[in-house]
Amino acid sequence: MTVPIAIADATTLSPLALFLQADIVVKIVMIGLLLASIWTWAIIIGLGAKLRSTLKNCTAFEQEFWRSEDIDRFHETRGRADLPSARVMAAGVAEWRRSTAQKQIDRDGTRDRLSTAMASATGAEVDKLSERLNVLATIGSVAPFVGLFGTVWGIMRSFTAIAAQQNSSLAVVAPGIAEALFATAIGLFAAIPAVIAYNRFSHAINRIEARLNRFADGFYATLSRELESQ
């Protein structure tokens, strides 16, 4: 008696068919990787728009600040803006007012506290912008290995099918191997955008951090000169 052999055609090897025919373990792996890919793209779209907006608005804020002749008035009107530069400026102004409110001003101590306050504010703003980068780093590093796990599992299943049918022809093993490799493909589909986005966003955040540091240094120099006149 001849055992019928299923011929793997284009329909059988389509992505949807490969998913439906996959083992439950491989299906769970594929679904997890697809969810990770969706999460990655949500972060890419959201964080990308946020970083572009932040850089643009900080640039405009700082240009307006340096054109201003009255720091106190500018702080009252623009100091509460939802911008990293505004919060760095607010930290400097707050420390300046506390340090100069005393009758006897400690100039060296005031300078140290101003530097510390604005550096701390800068670090806090960078941490806020970077809080979702760890998700991209995790997906970029883990997703290929999760896909590889699905591949190994699928290939093991293919060998089981070979043993059960006692037939090692390509028509028998092709669907199982294809679904196994499909898991790896989905893992790479999730990982590659995550790695690229992580590198690009890290560069953008470094640019914003450098801008905030330059702004803080310039503001510190301004307050230091004002301190000398008192």
- Token pair 């400026």 is found at 89
Total Cβ atoms within 10 A of residue 12: 16
What percentage of the chain reaches a pLDDT higher than 90? 49
SS3 17: helix
Name the residue ranges covered by the structural domains of the chain: 24-229
Q: Which residues contact 123 (CB under 8 A, 6 or more apart)?
A: none
How far apart (Å, rounded) are the C-alpha atoms in residues 52 and 7? Answer: 52
Residue 13 has pLDDT above 70, yes or no: no
- Tell me the per-residue pLDDT of 118-139, one tens digit each, with 9 for 90 and over: 999 999 999 999 989 999 999 9
Residue 214: pLDDT above 90? yes
- Write out pLDDT tens, residues 195-208: 999 999 999 999 99
Q: pTM to 2 decimals?
A: 0.80
Give me the amino acid identity at 24.
Answer: I
Residue 194 pLDDT level (bands cut at 50, 70, 90):
very high
